[in-house]
Structures are given as structure tokens and as C-alpha cells.
Amino acid sequence: AQTVTQSQPEMSVQEAETVTLSCTYDTSESDYYLFWYKQPPSRQMILVIRQEAYKQQNATENRFSVNFQKAAKSFSLKISDSQLGDAAMYFCAYRSYQGAQKLVFGQGTRLTINP
């Protein structure tokens, strides 16, 4: 079974600064997807960024980028130029490439942005 671990329950950063959220995972599969989801107080999970395991290039979406280390099974999220609207719970998630399409989530990291 796959597992996802987020070791930072809480993080804080000054507005306009850069912050990195950590995630490690365990799987025996070679093909899979990794995601970072954001859950603001509205409770709706929003996809921030995804990474396909077969791609060596790290995914980037505007101010959000990942550092994907497949051998180390590590998948961190970097948020540049942090904004007040980035404050939320962030969840790292895993999904198999084939077979069961369920998302396996980490425990989450609560990100606070200090003005």
C-alpha cells in the first residue's frame, strides 16, 4: 500500500518570501502521479500542481514549483513570493497511474502567511 508523509504540521512565512513544504512517499509502483492540493477555510480542495513520475522535469505553475526526487521518494513544494491568499492547509497526494484511482493524502501542512 502507498503512504504519504508530511512531517511539517505547521509552517509560517513572511509575505513575499519563499517557503518550501516537504513530502515523502512510499510505493512499489514505477508509474504514478503526485499532487499538491490546497484547502482554504472554504474547505474546497484545489489542485495546485501535479507531477507525473515518468517526467524528470520538475513541474512549475506560476509561483509554485516542485522538487521531485524519484529515487529518494521526495516531493517538495516551493511557493515563491508568498501572498496572503496562499494561507491554507496544503496536502501532498499520490495516485496510481493505472488501477485504483484513489488519492492517498498526507496529513497536511498548515501554512500561515505573516504580513
Partner 1 sequence: KAGVTQTPRYLIKTRGQQVTLSCSPISGHRSVSWYQQTPGQGLQFLFEYFSETQRNKGNFPGRFSGRQFSNSRSEMNVSTLELGDSALYLCASRLTQTGLFTEAFFGQGTRLTVV
Q: Which residues bind partner 1 (CB under 8 A)?
A: 33, 42-47, 50, 52, 91, 97-108
The residue among 28 and 44 lying less far from partner 1, judged by its C-beta, is 44
The residue among 82 and 92 lying less far from partner 1, judged by its C-beta, is 92
The residue among 108 and 113 lying less far from partner 1, judged by its C-beta, is 108
The residue among 16 and 47 lying less far from partner 1, judged by its C-beta, is 47
Computed from CA positions of residues 71, 37, 7, 81, in that sequence, does the dihedral angle turn out positive or negative?
positive
At 10 the three-state DSSP class reads strand
Closest of 107, 104, 82 to residue 35, by C-alpha: 104
How near is the Cβ of 79 to partner 1 at its closest, in Å? 20
Taking the C-alpha atoms of residue 34 and residue 19, their distance in angstroms, rounded to an integer, is: 19
How near is the Cβ of 88 to partner 1 at its closest, in Å? 13
Name the grid cell of 33: 502521479
Name the grid cell of 73: 521518494
How near is the Cβ of 9 to partner 1 at its closest, in Å? 11
